[in-house]
Amino acid sequence: MNEEQRKEQAQINQVDAADRKSGQDKPLHEKTSADFAKYFETTYQPPNINKARKRGREEVDVHYDFDIPEDMKSIGEGKKFLIRTYGCQMNEHDTEVMAGILTEMGYESTDDTNKADIILLNTCAIRENAENKVFGEIGHLKPLKLENPDLILGVCGCMSQQESVVNRIMQKHQHVDLIFGTHNIHRLPHLVKEAMFSKANVVEVWSKEGDIIENLPKVRRGKVKAWVNIMYGCDKFCTYCIVPMTRGKERSRLPEDIIQEVRHLAASGYKEITLLGQNVNAYGKDFEDTEYGLGDLMEELSKIDIPRIRFTTSHPRDFDDRLIEVLAKGGNLLDHIHLPVQSGSSEVLRKMNRKYTRESYLELVRKIKKAMPNATLTTDIIVGFPNETDEQFEETMTLMEEVGFEAAYTFIYSPREGTPAAARKDDVPMEVKKQRLYRLNELVNKQSAEAMKAYQGETVKVLVEGESKKDPDVLAGYTERNKLVNFKGPKSAIGKIVNVKITDAKTWSLDGIMVENTVEVN
């Protein structure tokens, strides 16, 4: 689908302006969901595994023609913006892009809500509590908007991709001026202009698929580490997960565009990049005429003069031998692998539509460990999936030990409207789920502490990111295997990779002292 066709499908709607002009419509607060459904009619598709399999590959277009129209280039002069980011690294990186666009429009960034002319909430929909936080924040910002009617308050990110959320905002939070989705970020200049000059709410959500827009500006948060998108979207349709709906279908950036971005980052002095995607192992599967996967991409990137390359997030199903072979060569490809398992029970995994079993996951782990004996493995786990039995939960506990994960993000299952799992009856009481999470976390903490202990007395390479949040006299950075290290050292070490001798191991971090020689500064 090209940009013109997309525009035809675009849902820029001046809700009450258009409706009230007709003189026949109800006031905004009296409208029901049905009144807002039209904004999603052409684009909204509830999650559907069968349809997902048929998602067209040929429809992805890559655009290199992003430009800010002349009349919007100075629209932000003398004004400030603030973007609050919730959720994953993908959102963090989208925020860097939005900051880049707003900066090119003349805006400056601020941390102070009172000084901001635009506030954007870049939201996460993965679990209910993430959404609740955002609704709380929308409420908190209301007095500010009442005080300063010229303030543009926008909601973007994954929550905006859900029809029910848009309905709720439109009905109950009319002080929100602008709602736009994850595929509409490049339209920000137009949307801001629209919100500035119209007296009505602006809603633009293309929820269907999304193209790739290449040359978007970015204001990166740091000068040491950078995110690099390699692909967008997800076609895996795990039954609990909202992401395939909020982020569209899997689509990969072309290798040459990624390589060029990484080269540019290396030349600008960045020391570490993290390749980003909801399921990076599916990289290249959407290329029609070539067989080119994540392993091939990583091999090419490993030749670039940048000290550290990471990638996240992996799906066990697509983690192939070629990738293992390339990672095993080491060099600047780090051997920390985040490999979400979600559950240790094959039956639960089947219900989650993960397409692997406990046994095949363990087999993959064996292969990885054989090729990379020092690899660190971390994971994501969901407890309390509908009807998870005690025995099935115990299988998660034993898998945690068997693999020896050094860290895990653990979650209580949160039903997401429109996903297959949310429609299932669930006989597990919340108290039981909480108890399971508690037990799992105890085990995660124990394994993390044990892994940290092994570093006591060792010397590790730390990429120094800056001062520690708690103490400006202490520097902080991460090891190759992603362990946080706090240590005393000169400020001149910031941005460099230095040797640090570990003096104390805590559950989630290490303390140390810098050893004189700097390791490598490319």
Where does this chain bind ligand SF4 (CB under 6 A)?
234, 236-238, 241, 243-244, 278-279, 315
Q: How far is the CB of 259 from ligand SF4 (least distance, A)?
A: 25
DSSP state of 333: B
Q: Which residues contact 81 (CB under 8 A, 6 or more apart)?
A: 99, 102, 107, 108, 109, 110, 116, 117, 118, 119, 120
Using CB under 6 A, which of 81, 240, 311, 455 touches ligand 5AD?
240
Question: Contact with ligand 5AD (CB under 6 A): which of 83, 98, 118, 241?
Answer: 241
b/e string for 356-392 if b means 16 or more Cβ within 10 A? bebeebbebbeebeebbeebbbbbebbbbbbebeeeb
> Among ligand SF4, ligand 5AD, none, what does residue 234 contact (CB within 5–8 Å per kind)?
ligand SF4
Of these, 79, 93, 127, 186, which contacts ligand 5AD (CB under 6 A)? 127
Check binding of 186 to ligand 5AD (CB under 6 A).
no
Backbone φ and ψ of 148, nearest 5°: -130, 85
126: contact with ligand 5AD by CB under 6 A: yes
Are the C-beta atoms of residues 63 and 211 closer than 8 Å to each other? yes
Closest to ligand SF4 by CB, 189 vs 244, is 244
Least distance (Å) from ligand SF4 to the CB of residue 382? Answer: 9
522 sits near ligand 5AD (criterion: CB under 6 A): no
Residue 393 near ligand 5AD by CB under 6 A? no
The site partner of 126 among ligand 5AD, ligand SF4, none (C-beta below 5 to 8 Å per kind) is: ligand 5AD
Distance in angstroms (rounded) separating the CA atoms of residues 488 and 516: 12
- Which of ligand SF4, ligand 5AD, none interacts with 237 (beta carbon under 5 to 8 A by kind)? ligand SF4
Does 414 contact ligand 5AD by CB under 6 A?
yes
| Min CB(311)–ligand SF4 separation in Å | 14
Backbone φ and ψ of 301, nearest 5°: -65, -30
Residue 376, strand partner residues: 336
Q: How far is the CB of 410 from ligand 5AD (least distance, A)?
A: 8
Q: Which does 278 bind (CB under 5 to 8 A by kind): ligand SF4, ligand 5AD, none?
A: ligand SF4
Q: For residue 207, what are its two tokens?
A: 């929820």
* Euclidean distance between CA atoms 220 and 264, whole angstroms: 13
In this complex, which beta carbon is closest to ligand 5AD, that of residue 39 or of residue 240?
Answer: 240
Which residue type occupies 264? Answer: H
Residue reference for tokens 């029609």: 288
342 lies in the site for ligand 5AD, by CB under 6 A: yes
Of 7-15, 27-35, 268-276, 407-415, the window that binds ligand 5AD (rule: CB under 6 A) is 407-415
Enter the DSSP assignment of 117.
Answer: S
- The b/e string for 503-515 (b: 16+ C-beta within 10 A; e otherwise) is eebeeebbebebe
The region, left, alpha or beta by phi > 0 then psi within -120 to 50, assigned to residue 86 is beta
Site for ligand 5AD in 415-444 (CB under 6 A): 416
> Binds 283, which of ligand SF4, ligand 5AD, none (CB < 5 to 8 A, cut-off by type)?
none
For the beta carbon of residue 107, count every other beta carbon within 10 angstroms: 22
The site that binds ligand 5AD (CB under 6 A) totals a number of residues, namely: 12
H/E stretch holding 422 reads: none
Does 125 bind ligand 5AD (CB under 6 A)? Our answer is no
Cis omega (within 30 of 0) for bond into 313: yes
Work out how close the CB of 416 gets to ligand 5AD at its nearest, in angstroms, rounded to a whole number: 5
Distance between first and last Cα of the chain: 42
Judged by the rule CB under 6 A, the positions of this chain that interact with ligand 5AD are: 126-127, 240-241, 340, 342, 380, 382, 411, 413-414, 416
